[in-house]
Amino acid sequence: MEVYRSLKKLQEDLYKKKLTATALTQYSFSKINDNTDLNAFIEVFEESALNTAQKIDAKIANGEPLGKLFGLTIAIKDNIVYKNHKVTAASKILDGFVSPYSATVIERLLAEDAIIIGRTNCDEFAMGGSNENSFYGAVKNPHDTSHVSGGSSGGSAVAVAADLCMAALGSDTGGSIRQPASFCGIVGLKPTYGRVSRYGLIAYGSSFDQIGPFTHNIEDAALILEVISGGDDYDATCSQKEVPLYASKLQSETKYKIAYYKNAIEHEGVDEEVRAASLAIIERLKKDGHQVDGIEFAELDYIVPAYYVLTTAEASSNLSRFDGVKYGYHAKEAQDLESTYRLTRSQGFGKEVQRRIMSGTFVLSAGYYDAYYSKAQKVRRIVAEKTRKTLETYDFILCPTAPTPAYKIGEVQDSIASFLGDIFTVQANIAGVPGISLPLYKTKNGLPVGIQFMAGRWQEQKLLAFSNTLMP
């Protein structure tokens, strides 16, 4: 069967009855089974996916109206709930849990005839940048299986990059869509905070988390964003702003003003080939007639520490609900309520999650709140304000998505070194602005290198149209 990387082309062939949605879905399952070594999927939803596919085929046969995403095989990160399906956030502590309801994004995908084929592996509770922190094991990069996929949405990125499905949803708290997209050579979009409902997303850092798509092209990313965006009564932080028809406005001949951080590209932690790719895109943009200016971002070295103080604080609160009492893993040897909490949480959570919960509890504790949490909030305000002002002067901010290409599995053992991999992505989350990683370059060894662009709040339309002009 032909490998489809464009929803438009797939839908044309479905209309012409060159294939069926059922056959396409079965093909995806066979591809997943043939690539289990990548460890991208935790579970496939064979029964429900085939039921959806059969309904689409019946609609086509009967000439009935079809949704915008009909035929799209899409995977969901294992922290997005789907009614009557298991969800674990890649953690032992939620082993066997079946969701009693669906996330808003799931309802919206299904309403537009998307085929949800399974749940993908991720770093436990979305905490990690390599997808090595999963109860189900590391996800492998399809470009070189000895290398990491990126995280925390590594399974979703690999599923798309390896053509196991056409698209996938991930969540992005500090780069968890954009960084694995960069490592795997696909498009990864983090929308403006509040653009997409978080209802049904298992929370890590509630004021940072945002759901977004992985695709092979901009048109599909725009269409998925169009479907999953919009106000939601179940999420008070979700904007009621009208959702543009993103996919219908992807042509752009505008010459933009673009800023790049000189100290980011020159940063000592940036790989030479990543630096070369960044300089190459700057030159390309200049040749295309855009104004590209180098500016300084003095707060660069402060954003990662501030981000981790704030997100771990939120995580310590959000994850307090997982205690072994009502659902999920329960330590059998527990004798009373105190030992239930202590044993269940110490056995159920992985080391990285435990580390972040304890860090968050520490920065919120008496005597340390002002020293850490309140200072981090001040940094957040400064970064958000500076980002806003920069994006009032410039249309976009350019920087590498990640300081390095995908590194080898097991190569980075130090947590601090892992955290620094987020140095270029966390700004978009701190400021609440949209960011996208584009697969524009490769290293001499064939590993993808993503370039990131950020735009002002609610400027996804402009960001997508501009990105579309850069794609091969």
Helix (H), strand (E), coil (C) string for the chain: CCCCCCHHHHHHHHHCCCCCHHHHHHHHHHHHHHCHHHCCEEEECHHHHHHHHHHHHHHHHHCCCCCCCCCCEEEEECCECCCCCECCCCCHHHCCCECCCCCHHHHHHHHCCCEEEEEECCCHHHCCCCCCCCCCCCCEECCEEEEECCCCCHHHHHHHHCCCCCEEEEECCCCCCHHHHHHHCCEEEECCCCCECCCCECCCCCCCCCEEEEECCHHHHHHHHHHHECCCCCCCCCCCCCCCCHHHCCCCCCCCEEEEEHHHHCCCCCCHHHHHHHHHHHHHHHHCCCEEEEECCCCHHHHHHHHHHHHHHHHHHHHHHCCCCCCCCCCCCCCCHHHHHHHHHHHHCCHHHHHHHHHHHHHHCCCCHHHHHHHHHHHHHHHHHHHHHHHHHCCEEEEECCCCCCCECCCCCCHHHHHHHHCCCHHHHHHCCCEEEEEEEECCCCCEEEEEEECCCCCHHHHHHHHHHHCC
**Of 156, 176, 418, 437, which residue is the catalytic one?**
176
**Considering the domain boundaries, does residue 67 fall inside one?**
yes
pLDDT digits (tens, 9 = 90+) for 261-306: 999 999 989 999 999 999 999 999 999 999 999 999 999 989 999 9
For residue 460, pLDDT beyond 80: yes
Residue 42 sits in a domain whose CATH number is 3.90.1300.10
**Considering the domain boundaries, does residue 390 fall inside one?**
no
**Considering the domain boundaries, does residue 81 fall inside one?**
yes
pLDDT digits (tens, 9 = 90+) for 3-37: 999 999 999 999 999 999 999 999 999 999 999 99
**Of 28, 48, 77, 140, which residue is the catalytic one?**
77
Average pLDDT of every residue of the chain: 96
Q: What number is the average pLDDT over the span 457-467?
A: 98
pLDDT of residue 421: 87
pLDDT digits (tens, 9 = 90+) for 367-383: 889 889 999 999 999 99
**Considering the domain boundaries, does residue 329 fall inside one?**
no
**Considering the domain boundaries, does residue 229 fall inside one?**
yes
* Residue-range definition of the domain harbouring residue 109: 7-248
pLDDT of residue 444: 97
> Structurally, how many domains does the chain consist of?
1
Q: What number is the average pLDDT over the span 219-234?
A: 98
Identify the weakest region by mean pLDDT among 116-130, 227-241, 312-326, 409-423: 409-423
Task: Work out the pLDDT band at 413, boundaries 50, 70, 90.
Answer: confident
Catalytic site includes residue 176:
yes
pLDDT of residue 415: 67
Identify the weakest region by mean pLDDT among 41-55, 199-213, 323-337: 323-337
pLDDT of residue 213: 98
**Considering the domain boundaries, does residue 107 fall inside one?**
yes
Does the pTM surpass 0.85? The reply is: yes
Q: What number is the average pLDDT over the span 156-177?
A: 98
Percentage, residues of the chain above pLDDT 90: 92
Task: Work out the pLDDT band at 346, boundaries 50, 70, 90.
Answer: very high
**Of 28, 48, 149, 152, which residue is the catalytic one?**
152
For residue 416, pLDDT beyond 90: no
pLDDT of residue 466: 98
**Considering the domain boundaries, does residue 125 fall inside one?**
yes
**Considering the domain boundaries, does residue 201 fall inside one?**
yes
Catalytic site includes residue 140:
no
Percentage, residues of the chain above pLDDT 70: 99
Catalytic site includes residue 239:
no
